């Protein structure tokens, strides 16, 4: 298995495998890119390849004692740090200075039984300034036979001095076919189970993220989409009663409104893309394109863009605690004006 376990991400794999092959592995890497696209998995497979007892330099066997210990997180030269919540109910998770100091002590020694010590810091942006400054010392004077891998979906939240001392490796969102393949793999391994009919839709709606494909509540999304198709078909000053019925209903459900509005944004985006005739675009609502097409025929592109803008404004007003019912009514009036 080894690097083969990482589906997609051909460019990052190539960079790392070339470094292994040419014996030019950096002492520090920054793996960055949106959440849930395989950064941590790649880092773990890289650690295996660096320490494998049997396979060639470019990959690991995934079977020797070293590979198995890394897989089980019990290898004495493999360290995986992740943000920890200060209390079970706390919202903010952090990587504190104590964890970094502890790591530094462990990295000061030569590898205990492997060839290279590998330390992965997942969610590196969760290091507070003291922790980040402490880690900087390690990067300035890297211990021998050590590879440090920082992982983040927000590189701009890291100290620039940290970033500049790492080799950057960019991870891209996964394509729907890649996501579908990952879902199928998880079903084969029986770690997840979905109705086969949902796989395609989950992949299309994943936004390139495995976690979203796995966790999305497809049932709720289908309910929202039905209502939104109905609403968009009725938008006009002549049918204000039907529009306000929708806003009255959702005006009482603040918990779900941001998801509903995200769904609305996706739908307006898909209608606009259909309208402009773009090809090879992955539609989030790819399974109901035949129902979206009549809406595309009725609305102009400038009107759709105004509607999109109006939803964005509503989302931001609600995030700032604006009155839900009034905001939705206002949005629908903007829709009618645009239509």
Which residue ranges make up the site for Zn ion (CB under 5 A)? 52, 60-61, 64, 67
What's the CA gap between 204 and 175, in Å, rounded?
8
Angle CA(290)–CA(295)–CA(301) in degrees, nearest 5?
Answer: 120
Q: Output the smallest distance, CB 53 to Zn ion, in A.
A: 5
Q: Output the smallest distance, CB 9 to Zn ion, in A.
A: 21
Q: Output the smallest distance, CB 113 to Zn ion, in A.
A: 13
Residue 2 or 153: the one with the smaller Cβ distance to Zn ion is 2
Q: How many other C-beta atoms lie within 10 A of the C-beta of residue 119? A: 25
What's the CA gap between 207 and 211, in Å, rounded?
10
- Bridge partners (DSSP) listed for residue 122: 151
Contact 211, 37 (CB under 8 A): no
Residue 117 or 180: the one with the smaller Cβ distance to Zn ion is 117
Residue 6 or 228: the one with the smaller Cβ distance to Zn ion is 6
Residue 70 or 135: the one with the smaller Cβ distance to Zn ion is 70
DSSP run (H or E) holding 213: helix 210-215
Q: How many other C-beta atoms lie within 10 A of the C-beta of residue 255? A: 6
Q: Output the smallest distance, CB 70 to Zn ion, in A.
A: 9
What's the CA gap between 240 and 180, in Å, rounded?
41
Q: Output the smallest distance, CB 5 to Zn ion, in A.
A: 13
Q: Which of 317, 316, 313 is nearest to 335 (CA)?
A: 313
Residue 51 or 247: the one with the smaller Cβ distance to Zn ion is 51
What's the CA gap between 115 and 267, in Å, rounded?
52
Q: Output the smallest distance, CB 67 to Zn ion, in A.
A: 3
Residue 69 or 275: the one with the smaller Cβ distance to Zn ion is 69
């Amino acid at each position: 298995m080894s690097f083969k376990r990482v589906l997609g991400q051909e460019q990052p794999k190539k960079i790392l495998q070339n470094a292994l092959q040419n014996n030019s592995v950096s002492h520090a890497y920054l793996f960055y890119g949106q959440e849930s696209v395989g950064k941590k998995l790649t880092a773990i497979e890289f650690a295996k390849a660096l320490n494998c007892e049997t396979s060639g330099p470019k990959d690991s066997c995934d079977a020797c004692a070293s590979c198995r210990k890394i897989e089980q997180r019990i290898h004495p030269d493999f360290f995986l740090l992740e943000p920890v919540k200060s209390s079970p109910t706390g919202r903010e998770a952090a990587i504190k200075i104590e964890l970094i100091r502890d790591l530094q002590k462990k990295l000061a020694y030569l590898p205990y039984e492997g060839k290279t010590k590998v330390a992965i810091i997942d969610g590196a942006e969760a290091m507070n300034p003291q922790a980040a400054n402490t880690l900087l010392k390690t990067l300035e004077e890297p211990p021998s036979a050590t590879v440090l891998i920082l992982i983040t979906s927000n590189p701009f939240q890291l100290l620039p001095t940290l970033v500049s001392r790492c080799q950057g490796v960019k991870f891209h969102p996964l394509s729907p076919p890649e996501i579908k393949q990952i879902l199928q793999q998880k079903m084969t391994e029986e770690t997840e189970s979905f109705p086969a009919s949902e796989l395609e839709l989950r992949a299309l709606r994943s936004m390139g993220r495995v976690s979203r494909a796995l966790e999305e509540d497809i049932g709720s999304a289908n309910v929202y989409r039905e209502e939104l198709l109905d609403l968009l078909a009725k938008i006009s000053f002549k049918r204000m009663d039907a529009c306000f019925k929708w806003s009255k209903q959702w005006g009482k459900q603040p918990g779900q409104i941001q998801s509903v509005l995200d769904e609305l944004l996706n739908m307006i985006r898909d209608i606009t893309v259909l309208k402009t005739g773009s090809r090879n675009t992955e539609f989030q609502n790819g399974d109901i394109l035949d129902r979206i097409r009549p809406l595309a025929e009725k609305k102009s592109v400038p009107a759709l863009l105004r509607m999109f803008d109006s939803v964005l404004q509503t989302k931001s007003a609600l995030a700032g605690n604006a009155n839900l019912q009034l905001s939705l009514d206002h949005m629908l009036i903007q829709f009618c004006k645009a239509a």
